Amino acid sequence: MHKVYIYKGFERFWHWTQASLIIFLAVTGFEVHGTLDIFGFEKAAEFHRIASWMLIALITFSIFWHLTTGEWRQYIPTTDKLKEQIIYYISGIFKGDPHPTEKTGLSKLNPLQRIVYLGFKVILVPITIISGIFYLLYKTFDQNNMVVIEEYPLASIAFWHTLGAFLLMIFLVVHVYMTTTGKTPTSNIKAMITGFEELEEEHIDITPKNDKTQTA
């Protein structure tokens, strides 16, 4: 076993900051809906708006980082061992079967994770953020401080934003559970904190050409 630097500094910062903001947005969002009572409605709404813009800024910078570093390739879908990966999560993991794919320095995600995380980034997050922006801009003030109400249906915007929020919570719960399916229940979490993960020597990539899934 060798320690390999898998997760870069910004990647870890982005991961934990994004998770924290999503959880905080969920808490304040549920309070705005009247489900919780922690900060008070006005403060919860204010905190929700601030955290929303912080998340948008973080995602914008992370997109730039992914494009400039080439890390976007980690999310290219592949069908190689996809069926085996699904079977493993459905039954094999509970029988102690070996993992069908191995994480490497150049291929951090298994085939199923690639599809799920790609959907998270290009579908789930955009739906929640775009609907949230429409929600935020539904009622504004003009230069005379008069309230201006947009013409698009607020109920529809609220539906998509709430749906996105609930799906994000489901994703978060599943994601937390999946972190416990590594070599040990805490190995994946530890790797995302330190950046290093213990890999078997034969699974360590030295050059990109060794990673077949990179070009799948």
Range of the domain at 33: 2-215
20: CATH: 1.20.950.20
Task: Check pLDDT > 90 for residue 17.
Answer: yes
CA–CA dist 21, 55 (Å, integer): 6
Radius of gyration of the chain (CA): 20
> Torsion-angle region of residue 85: left (phi > 0), alpha (psi -120 to 50) or beta?
alpha
Tell how strand 2-5 and strand 196-199 pair up.
Answer: antiparallel
CA–CA dist 37, 96 (Å, integer): 44
pLDDT tens track for 163-211: 999 999 999 999 999 888 878 888 889 999 999 988 765 544 444 344 4
Answer for the pair 103, 208: CB distance below 8 angstroms, yes or no: no
- Name the residue type at position 3: K
Any bridge partners for residue 4, and if so which?
197
Give me the torsion for CA of 198, 204, 206, 211, rounded to 10°: -130
- Name the residue type at position 67: L
Give the chain's domain count: 1
No. of H helices and E strands in the chain? Answer: 8, 4
Any bridge partners for residue 10, and if so which?
none
CA–CA dist 111, 202 (Å, integer): 19
The three-state secondary structure class of 98 is: coil
Q: What would the two tokens of residue 50 be?
A: 């601030």
| pLDDT for the residue numbered 214 | 39
pTM reported for the whole predicted model: 0.81
Task: Check pLDDT > 70 for residue 9.
Answer: yes
In terms of Cα–Cα distance, which of 175, 194, 183 is closest to 113?
Answer: 175
DSSP assigned state of 206: S
pLDDT tens track for 45-59: 999 999 999 999 999
| pLDDT for the residue numbered 143 | 54
Q: What would the two tokens of residue 58 be?
A: 């973080």
